[in-house]
Structure 1
Amino acid sequence: MRRKLTKYAVPLLFMMMMILLSGCDTSMMVLDPKGPVGADQRDLIVISTVLCLIVLVPVLILTAWIVWRYRDKPNNKAAYMPVWSHNTKAEVIWWAIPIIIIGALAVVTVKYTYALEPSKPLKSDKEPLVIQATSLDWKWLFTYPEQGIATVNYIEIPEDRPIRFQLTSDAPMNSFWIPQLGGQMYTMSGMDMTLNLQADEPGVYFGSGANFSGPQFADMRFEVKATSDADFDQWVNEVKSKGSELTLEGYEKLAEPSSSDRQYFSSFPEGLHEKIVNKYVVGKGHHHGGSEESK
Structure 2
Amino acid sequence: MSLVIWAEGRLVAAGEAAMSAVDHGITVGDGVFETCTVFDGHVFALTRHLARLARSAKGLGLQAPDESRVREGVAAVVEEMAATVGPFDGRLRITVTAGVGPLGSGRVEGAQTVVVAAQDSVMAPTSRSVRSPWPRNERSAIAGLKTTSYAENVVALAHAKDQGADETILPNTVGDLCEGTGSNVFVERAGELVTPRLDTGALAGITRELVLEWGAEAGLPVREAREGELPFDVLDEVSAGRAGLVLTSSGRNVQPVTWLDGVDVAVGEVSREVRDLFEVRCRERLDP
Q: What TM-score, normalized to structure 2?
A: 0.26
Q: Larger C-alpha radius of gyration, 1 or 2?
A: 1
Q: What TM-score, normalized to structure 1?
A: 0.25
